[in-house]
Chains A and B, each alone.
Chain A
Amino acid sequence: MQIIENIYSILRSIGLVFMHAFHKRETVQYPDEKPYLAPRWRGRIVLTRDPDGAERCVGCYLCAVACPVGCIALQTTEDETGRRYPEFFRINFSRCIFCGYCEEACPTYAIQLTPDFEMCEYKRQNLVYEKEDLLISGPGKYPDYNFYRVAGLAIGGKGKGEAENESAPVDPRGLLL
């Protein structure tokens, strides 16, 4: 009995596959027909700026360490006020697999993936993007967030105790403390 069932099952499968000849095709004829890309599409990576127009990236290296192919290299540095920013920020798109882990790891919303994947080059070397190539002028998908407004680090224009939810600095020499 089992054998008949099995034979039937095979024949039925063959029939079902054959019937696919009359189904609509799923393929999108890409260059002629552009597909819809969702805003959260994981394409070309950009570095964004905070609402004040300053670089969002603080050079924490979390994107680099999250990257499974190791295609992000950067060096952090500081301006004279203590604000961190990347001295260089390099993505080797010839290695990038667009997994989006860098975006997930980024604590400042600086690195974001965009709905653009048309970035072929004839030379692989041209797929190495430096900070100048990556940095855009806007805040990307997260218009309001500004890391330094939340973080307790003092930078130019924001002293100790001036971040969100911070009280004024304590004077350890004060009485009754």
Chain B
Amino acid sequence: MATIYIDDKPYEVKDGQNLLQACLSLGLNLSYFCWHPALGSVGACRQCAVKQFKDENDKQGRLVMSCMTPASANIRISIGDAEAKEFRQDVIEHLMTNHPHDCPVCDEGGECHLQDMTVMSGHHDREYRFKKRTHINQDLGPFINHEMNRCIQCYRCVRYYRDYAGGRDFNVFASHDNVYFGRHEPGTLESEFSGNLVEVCPTGVFTDKTQKKHYTRRWDLQVAPSICVHCGLGCNTTPGERYGQLRRIRNRYNGEVNGYFLCDRGRYGYEFVNSAQRVKQVVYRRRDDAGVETVEKAVKGDVLRYLARLLADGATAIGIGSPRASVETNFALRALVGPENYFTGMTALETRLVSSMIEILKTGPARTPSLDEIGDADAVLVLGEDVTNVAPMMALRLRQSVRNEPMAVAHKIGIPDWNDAAVRGAVQTKKGPLFIATPAATKLDEIATSTYNAAPDNLARLGYAVANAIDPEAPTGDRVSAEVRQLAETIATALKGAKKPLVIAGASCANECIIQAAANIVWALCKTEHAAALSFTAPECNSVGAALLGGRSLDEAIQTVRDGRADVVIIAENDLYRRAKRADVDALFEHAKHVVVIDHSPTATTAKAEVTLPAAAFPEGDGTFVNNEGRAQRFIQVYVPEGDVQESWRWLRALRVATGKADVAEWATLDLALASVEEAVPALSGVRNCAPPPAFRALGQKVPRQAHRYSGRTAMRANINVSEPKIQEDPDSPLTFSMEGYRGELPASLLPSFWAPGWNSAQALTRFQEEIGGPLRGGDPGVRLIEPAAGSAPAYFGDAPKVFAVRKNDRLAVSLYHIFGSEELSALSPPLAERIPALYAALSPSDAEALEVANGDTVELRLNGAAWRAPVSVRPDLPRGTVGVPAGLAAAEFLSAPAWISVEKVSAT
């Protein structure tokens, strides 16, 4: 800690900061543009000028840029000094000369950093009388709207897009006051993280194009803390609702998870919630004796009674849960049908993979890092995962982690971390060790030290070899080639030489050996007194939660129904056709007498159900997800959905009540439901603590979901009825659907949005953090359920798999993931549609040659009687003997590894 003097008052600040960070952390108002907490300082905009004095007798002082001056001990500065104030005012006046007169039609208005800073610096009269420079806008794709006239040349966008996120198709052009930020030609921004430009840009140059279609000002949105459902990382989000429609997703800072950014899938995948096809009413599908189906909308009470009758008549009911449903939903289903009749909804393979990940993290000595800690790693091995497409935000972290090792160069010559331009100058293009071993090339390869593309078994063998190179006691495969051994040695040396080595693996290759190999490597490192970390990606938003809850696999469920041991099948938020073979699922529907599906979006499974109950999508209900790190996080209802829609666990509870298995008071609130979860499932103990209970009050008040400026409360529904309805009640959280309540310091898991007086943009965040870039006050949201076991390390996993053997006719299916398309829910969102790739079957050049096909030719894939045709895409990075199929897009059977598919050319007729 150091003492600094600001306007003659002493303050204690943390070492290693610059003055701007120190002032903002202290809650002082100081304007800035080019500085961003994640991007560091470059001192370009001159907006954060303060007066620095030599000592207490110095009355003259000199202007310095606070973002470029270290907050060293006993430094004396003045923010309020007249000259400094005038300087800041002049700077903003010059920045504003060309700013167009269009705040009313600008989407940034109301949460604009430029507006805030203009007011803060006191500039109010435009004295520039000449013509304004104008620019032509570009079409930057379905996510980002471009309005270049509003630019104030702070360079944050290029620094973020190129330096931070590693994008290459965006730059700055021209010179002096004509500088232009955009692409070399109009076109879709390629980066998976382009959406963050909206929040990085201090004004309205880059705005959210999906929100523009149903635009709402920030103050009119009803918001609540939520969790992204589009991958297993559990990024924190703030969904905003207006007029019963989800209007946008914004990042919600969580220092340990997503930090300042979100990926485009998380940000723009929300529109499935607004879909007109959503299941919003109870649907009953009647089938008469002749087999003719009629679909009718049913009354909730009638259907519940009907279902209660079905369940009561001594019928055996089985429940199929889902890794995309909340912990509460899965548990409620388990409670309804009994643990012996509960199935996780994941295939046997997936259940095994996720369970073994949890087992490894629980029994082994290696700690799983939070997403934030991944960015601190200084040597990384990625085993089998296409991180950018499976867990995008992890890729953004890895892009930062490669900067850690070369940072030593900057440290040696005394450049602080925050001095971005100087650091980049010192580091140049040096990258830290990052090794990527995947079946096919990935986008991260461009920053990797070396890459290795091979079939999944061979990837596992590399992993075993690395473990063996670190610790000779670790097993290795037979016949390890010199090339692999060489690579393993390199990797082992890099990992051993690092302070914070990290291995990333996951379920993408559907290969348990890869997971075990990753465990062996990290355990070997742990033996050598390394703080080695092991991170697994999770396939879906609650895969880990569902696995912690336990239960048998989907395959067993299908078998149970086939054997006639189940009359009623209840499926919660799961599209079985995406997971199991079509023939199997068809058999399930054929053998089951009654099928009840609870889901929010129409799927192939809901189409077959006798009764479909409308479930709440993530902003419409409360629940808990457990992310890949084992962090349980609460998502809180943003708005009350219309119609019969309610949380799946509430439907299941209603069924329990209707069948007389529970009384009405049971699980009246989410908190009570979670209490039962903790009681019944020790592995999940702690889930209740990831957010304060509904009875929580701050100074006796609830927490408002609406901004204090929320408008139209007496007119929004006036067209329906001029008398305003009673405020909706929320039994599940301490939040209220109103403008009234406590605003101020709150437990971070309840913070609906970040706002402070004078800070209307996302930059208000500094007021809620303990330090810049640090945790939120009161601790970051979420409770870690998985911690490494103390005591001796478990034995290494046994022998490595055999070398991948190419078969003559069949080819091994390898799932190729796509950020847009592979995930089920986001794929239903229209803005993503044009980014979803067309179907293809990828072949290596040698395979293509053997089959005599070229790019674009159609091939037929056949497996167990199922056939599927797709155009060929020849990919040189793909290993011989495999066929790449797009995950989530192709039929499930071709993705359920290990699938040996026969590929045949279809002659063009």
Contact = CB atoms under 8 A, between A and B. Distances in A.
Interface of A: 58-62, 64-65, 67, 69-78, 84, 88, 90-92, 94-95, 107-108, 124-125, 127-128, 130, 147, 150-154, 160-161, 163, 165-174, 177
Contact of A84 (B105, B133, B147): B105
B784 interface: no
27 contacts: A60-B103, A60-B105, A60-B109, A61-B216, A67-B712, A70-B710, A71-B712, A73-B712, A92-B718, A107-B103, A125-B721, A130-B719, A147-B104, A152-B100, A152-B102, A152-B132, A152-B149, A152-B150, A160-B134, A160-B136, A160-B149, A167-B132, A167-B134, A169-B134, A169-B136, A170-B178, A172-B182
Contacts of B808: none
Given A92-B722, A152-B102, A153-B100, A173 B173 contact: yes
B586 to A, nearest CB: 44
Given A151-B101, A153-B100, A173-B173, A76 B132 contact: no
Nearest to A83: B105
B683 to A, nearest CB: 47
Contact of A90 (B215, B217, B709, B715): B715
B722 A62 contact: no
Contacts of A92: 714-715, 718, 722
Contact of B131 (A84, A107, A165): A165
Given A61-B110, A125-B722, A160-B149, 9 more contacts: A65-B110, A71-B714, A73-B711, A151-B100, A153-B102, A153-B147, A160-B134, A167-B134, A170-B135
Contacts of A72: 711-712, 715
B243 interface: yes
Contacts of B710: 70
Contacts of A91: 715
Top 3 A-B pairs ranked by shortest CB distance?
Answer: A152-B100, A73-B712, A60-B104
B132 A78 contact: no
A65 B104 contact: no
B212 interface: yes
B430 interface: no
Given A153-B100, A165-B132, A172-B173, A70 B712 contact: yes
A98 to B, nearest CB: 14
Nearest to B242: A75
B174 A177 contact: yes
Given A128-B718, A151-B100, A64 B175 contact: no
B220 interface: yes
B53 to A, nearest CB: 42
A61 B178 CA distance: 32
A154 B150 CA distance: 12
Contacts of A59: 105, 215
Contact of A151 (B105, B135, B217, B709): B105
A64 B132 contact: no
Contacts of B216: 61, 75
A124 B723 contact: yes
Contacts of A60: 103-105, 109
A58 B105 CA distance: 7
Given A65-B217, A167-B134, A124 B722 contact: yes
A167 B101 contact: no
Nearest to A90: B715
B104 A90 contact: no
Nearest to A63: B711
A65 B739 CA distance: 13
Given A60-B104, A65-B220, A70 B713 contact: yes
B220 A61 contact: yes
Contacts of A151: 100-102, 104-105
Interface string B173-201: 11110111010000000000000000000
B740 to A, nearest CB: 13
Q: How large is the interface on B (under 10, 10 to 19, 20 to 34, 35 or more residues)?
A: 35 or more
Contact of A128 (B130, B174, B722): B722
B716 interface: yes
A13 B175 CA distance: 78
B804 interface: no
A137 to B, nearest CB: 22
A128 B720 CA distance: 10
B219 interface: yes
Contact of A170 (B102, B103, B134): B134
A177 B178 contact: yes
A172 B177 CA distance: 11
Contacts of A127: 722
A104 B367 CA distance: 59
Given A61-B217, A172-B178, A167 B131 contact: yes
B101 A150 contact: yes
Contacts of A177: 174-176, 178
B614 to A, nearest CB: 25
Contacts of A95: 714-715
Nearest to A127: B722
A161 B105 contact: no
Interface string B863-882: 00000000000000000000
Contacts of B176: 177
Contact of B243 (A75, A147, A169, A174): A75
Contacts of B175: 177
A140 to B, nearest CB: 17
Interface centre among B133, B134, B176, B713 (most CB of A within 10 A): B134
B25 to A, nearest CB: 30
Contact of A153 (B105, B178, B179): B105
Given A60-B109, A65-B217, A169 B135 contact: yes
Residue among B147, B175, B714 with the highest chain A CB neighbour number at 10 A = B714
A174 B178 CA distance: 11
Contacts of B711: 61, 64-65, 67, 70, 72-73
Contacts of A167: 131-134
A73 B716 contact: yes
A143 B723 CA distance: 37
Interface in B61-114: 100-105, 109-110
B134 A166 contact: yes
A161 B102 CA distance: 13
A28 to B, nearest CB: 31
A163 B243 CA distance: 34
B851 to A, nearest CB: 45
Interface string B133-153: 111110000000001011000
A78 B214 CA distance: 9
B182 to A, nearest CB: 8
A41 B215 CA distance: 33
A90 to B, nearest CB: 5
A171 B173 CA distance: 10
B723 A170 contact: no
Nearest to A61: B217
B231 to A, nearest CB: 32
Interface string B243-258: 1000000000000000
Contact of A152 (B101, B212, B714): B101
B867 to A, nearest CB: 44
Interface string B39-54: 0000000000000000
Contacts of B105: 58-60, 84, 151, 153
B104 A108 contact: yes
Contact of A94 (B103, B104, B722): B722
B101 A170 contact: no
B709 to A, nearest CB: 5
A71 B718 CA distance: 9
